[in-house]
Structure 1
Amino acid sequence: MSDVVLIAIEVVEECGRFNREMGSIEEKIDLESDEEIPFSTSQGTRKVHSFDFETSHIGSHAALSTSWIFKKMRTAPLRSVYIVLIKAKINMLLPFGPLAIFLHYLTGKHGWVFFFSLLGITPLAERLGFATEQLAFYTGATVGGLLNATFGNATEMIISMYALKHGMIRVVQQSLLGSILSNMLLVLGCAFFTGGIKNHTKVQEFNKAAALVNSGLLLMAVMGLMFPAVLHFTHTEVHFGKSELALSRFSSCIMLVAYASYLFFQLKSQPNLYSPIDEDTEKIEEDSDEDIPELTQWEAISWLAILTLWVSVLSGYLVDAIEGASESLNMPVAFISVILLPIVGNAAEHASAIMFAIKNKLDITIGVAIGSSTQIAMFVIPFCVVVGWIMGQPMDLNFQLFETATLFIAVLVVAFMLQEGTSNYFKGLMLILCYLIVAASFFVHVDPTKDND
């Protein structure tokens, strides 16, 4: 009996000690927050009901946290779908992709299939750029810029692979040439123009050294494209039809080595050369506060895979309808390949470059526009030559004299625009007008030969 009494006394003492500790904890909570517990009116009653309150409080928090986790697990995919496929206004064009596929099998009218395929690919290209930008939050600025340029050119690469598989070598050459011209003249021009108007009270500056390195690579790409064309049209080949192809393949391997060296130079050797110019600390802090990722890393990777797959499906129907669309729409294949296809493929670069120029981040704008042109000229085009070599397709660097001369003049114009390290809306307007001249030229241009088509 005495043991029972001692045990009861110990239990009472432990309960008292526990109540005192819980009371002190509640007093600290009351001092830190001015909230009152609804069912307690005095200190004494608060201590009496402290144990009941804490157990109910802990239980309610556990229930809330559990329900929040399950709710988060249920709503995360829906939220991701909303952000990628519904939130942006350009997603209104997404239904045109399935419509183009239905028209391909129901009507067979190539003009409509081509038109709706263009409309369907446009938002996919822009969403590819968005997913890449989201992934760049987790990879860093330099790697993010490289990813942006790479996946920004994913549409052109997929279209080129389909066209190359079907032996449409001229379509491949002209679409890649058009992508370079579109990025250098139209995308950069629109970015300079809108950025200059938005920030008309100050001079917009960018890293001149990085821009000149890209200009030098573009001139090297022009040299690689020019020699096979000159060799062909001067009829100075040792083996007619073979020396030109062999030179193209050798030059492509050299250009791939040069681009790999450029990446090593940019990412490892001298990354400080590509650092943005000094800005005010307050401005950087404001921008960092504004830029918050909307997708997680794995969500961005998943959407990149899904969007790339859907672009590849639509690209097949788009390539199949090019020649029929040229006849039904009464447009040259050169105009469709050089002007229309790149505008769709460069939708992501176009939107990103303009957005960054408005925010006075011209270094990123130059990286998106000129960096994308450099990647196409020094990587995508030589890569297509090597892939054509593997496929048995005679893909070469002879882009014909008209296209090669156009590229050479465009690179010179852009190099002169970038040499000062500043931009304004007038420079942007000149680049846009130059692109209009190029578009009009290809509208009246017809290939001298159709053998490769």
Structure 2
Amino acid sequence: MMIILVRVKSRSENADEETAACLSPASTKTSAFDVSQPSIPRRTSDGVRCRLKRSIFIVLFKAKINLLLPCGPAAILLHHLTQKHGWVFILSLIGITPLAERLGYATEQLAYYTGPTVGGLLNATFGNATEMIISIYALKNGMIRVVQQSLLGSILSNMLLVLGCAFLAGGIVHHRKDQVFNKAAAVVNSGLLLMAVMGLMFPAVLHFTGSEVEYGKSEIALSRFSSCIMLVAYASYLFFQLKSHRSAYNPIEEVQEEGTTNDDPCEDEEPEISLWEAIVWLAILTVWISVLSGYLVDAIQGASESLNMPVAFISVILLPIVGNAAEHASAVMFAVKNKLDITLGVAIGSSTQISMFVIPFCVVIGWIMGKEMDLNFQLFETATLFLTVLVVAFLLQEGTANYFKGLMLILSYLIVAASFFVHKDPSKDDD
């Protein structure tokens, strides 16, 4: 009789343990003194199943922005069932937004395992993965101007809108004093951005002054040579930042107010998913963004006609806002936590990578594909980038930030957005 009671009790305990296993990953561990455990293969499969459910819940259901995920499949259905390119474009744009944010989250989780050096590089690379995928699809379809304008828009969005919102939010929260950041790192990034402007300016000036040795060929040859030089410069910058002068990029020790702590949020946080889960989610999200990017690029021209919007406005303003969703949220969050060095690394660092790596990389990829992708971004776009870099460089030279500087950057972005809303590409006859 005693034996039967013990067996009944152990079965009820096992049922409770199996229920708890789906709620907490720690409950999947077995005890060496539990003689009533089921067989090891069943226990292992239950643990894997529960861990898979937990990973899916964290990545796909935990964030509120994932409510927009059904817009992606809806865009694909509309593309095949109707010819409403405007709705296909809008739904694709909305559907990519949570994917870009989740891609940034998975990269952040992966950085916990790789360390700060490799993690910083992964954050910079996968943070711009959406722009790169959209650019490669557009380049494959011969939409060179869309590639140029979307990448230009990503730089403008990061430097004006993302950085402006971060400065504004951080300045409002910490309104009693100016926030400070590492001025030396900001100066290096400003110098790289000015070098990128120089690389974009010479092909445009060469074209519009009619001083080419061979019309149409010299600017492409110059663009390809300059792109290789810019890639070398960016590789040298990575070595400088991550290896030889790593100490120069350490955050400034800020004086804390009374009653506040000096805890680094990255020190107390722990990864929510494992290393291999982060790698698998990165692959899944990248593939899904690639699929939606194809439908998005195909619908751009039709959306421009149905929505009565210039293609330049769609490429420079709308596409980058979606691609920079992850950077935007991260930059504002770290600015509110008074971590402006990380904010600068997200916003200005992303602009530096796009200008010194993604744009030259697209030129080289176009060279391989046989597409005449060059660095001639036209005079209007090049002048806009040059003025933007100057404005941001002047605001960063003091090494301080406040809400007024953020407001100036946001208002400057509104001027840029309005300019591209009334701008159209000149025809070849006008050139």
Same topology, TM > 0.5: yes
Q: Which residue of 1 aligns with 2:231?
A: 256
Correspondent of 1:358 among 301, 326, 336: 336
Q: Deviations over 1:74-131 (max 9, x none)?
A: 2111111111110101000000000000000000211010000000000000101111
**Alpha-carbon distance in structure 1 between the residues aligned to 2:88 and 2:266:** 43
Q: Which residue of 2 aligns with 1:410?
A: 388
**Alpha-carbon distance in structure 1 between the residues aligned to 2:344 and 2:292:** 30
Q: Which residue of 1 aligns with 2:202?
A: 227
Correspondent of 1:428 among 392, 406, 411: 406
Q: Which sits farther off after the overlay, 280-289 or 71-80?
A: 280-289
Q: Which residue of 1 aligns with 2:34?
A: 59
**Alpha-carbon distance in structure 1 between the residues aligned to 2:197 and 2:107:** 29
**Alpha-carbon distance in structure 2 between the residues aligned to 1:283 and 1:308:** 38
Q: Offset at 1:156?
A: 0.4
Q: Which sits farther off after the overlay, 280-289 or 216-225?
A: 280-289
Identity among equivalent positions (%) equals 77
Q: Which sits farther off after the overlay, 218-227 or 296-305?
A: 296-305
Correspondent of 2:289 among 311, 321, 324: 311
Q: Secondary structure at the match of 1:264?
A: helix
1:337 partner amino acid: S
Q: Offset at 1:247?
A: 0.6
**Alpha-carbon distance in structure 2 between the residues aligned to 1:246 and 1:406:** 24
Q: Which residue of 1 aligns with 2:363?
A: 385
Q: Secondary structure at the match of 2:189?
A: helix
1:450 and 1:309, CA in 2 relative to 1: closer, same or farther beyond 3 A? farther
**Alpha-carbon distance in structure 1 between the residues aligned to 2:255 and 2:276:** 33
Q: Which residue of 1 aligns with 2:87?
A: 112
Question: Which residues in structure 2 correspond to 1:111-260 (within 5 Å)?
Answer: 111-260=86-235
Q: Offset at 1:69?
A: 5.5
Q: Offset at 1:71?
A: 4.0
Q: Secondary structure at the match of 1:393?
A: coil
Whether contact under 8 Å (2:92, 2:295) holds in the other structure is: yes
Q: Which residue of 2 aligns with 1:348?
A: 326
Q: Offset at 1:401?
A: 0.2
Q: Deviations over 1:389-442 (max 9, x none)?
A: 111100000000000000000000010111111111111110000000000000
**Alpha-carbon distance in structure 2 between the residues aligned to 1:62 and 1:317:** 51
1:174 and 1:450, CA in 2 relative to 1: closer, same or farther beyond 3 A? farther
Q: Deviations over 1:27-80 (max 9, x none)?
A: xxxxxxxxxxxxxxxxxxxxxxxxxxxxx9923586699987554322111111
Q: Secondary structure at the match of 2:270?
A: coil
1:352 and 1:242, CA in 2 relative to 1: closer, same or farther beyond 3 A? same
1:117 and 1:450, CA in 2 relative to 1: closer, same or farther beyond 3 A? farther
Whether contact under 8 Å (1:145, 1:367) holds in the other structure is: no
Q: Secondary structure at the match of 1:285?
A: coil
Q: Which residue of 2 aligns with 1:334?
A: 312
Whether contact under 8 Å (1:145, 1:368) holds in the other structure is: no
Whether contact under 8 Å (2:180, 2:254) holds in the other structure is: no
Q: Which residue of 2 aligns with 1:447?
A: 425
Q: Offset at 1:275?
A: 1.1
- Superposition misfits of 4+ residues, deviation over 6 angstroms: 63-68
Q: Which residue of 2 aligns with 1:30?
A: none
**Alpha-carbon distance in structure 2 between the residues aligned to 1:393 and 1:433:** 37
Residue 276, structure 1, aligned to residue 238, structure 2 = no
Residue 95, structure 1, aligned to residue 77, structure 2 = no
2:150 partner amino acid: S
Listed as ranges, the gaps of 5+ residues in structure 2 are 1-30
**Alpha-carbon distance in structure 1 between the residues aligned to 2:294 and 2:113:** 32
**Alpha-carbon distance in structure 1 between the residues aligned to 2:205 and 2:322:** 31
**Alpha-carbon distance in structure 1 between the residues aligned to 2:46 and 2:346:** 38
- Two-structure CA RMSD over aligned residues (Å): 2.0
Q: Which residue of 1 aligns with 2:12?
A: none
1:166 and 1:203, CA in 2 relative to 1: closer, same or farther beyond 3 A? same
Report the structure number with the largest CA radius of gyration.
1
2:89 partner amino acid: F
Q: Which residue of 2 aligns with 1:36?
A: none
Whether contact under 8 Å (1:356, 1:364) holds in the other structure is: yes
1:349 and 1:450, CA in 2 relative to 1: closer, same or farther beyond 3 A? farther
Q: Secondary structure at the match of 1:389?
A: helix
1:295 and 1:109, CA in 2 relative to 1: closer, same or farther beyond 3 A? same
1:400 partner amino acid: Q
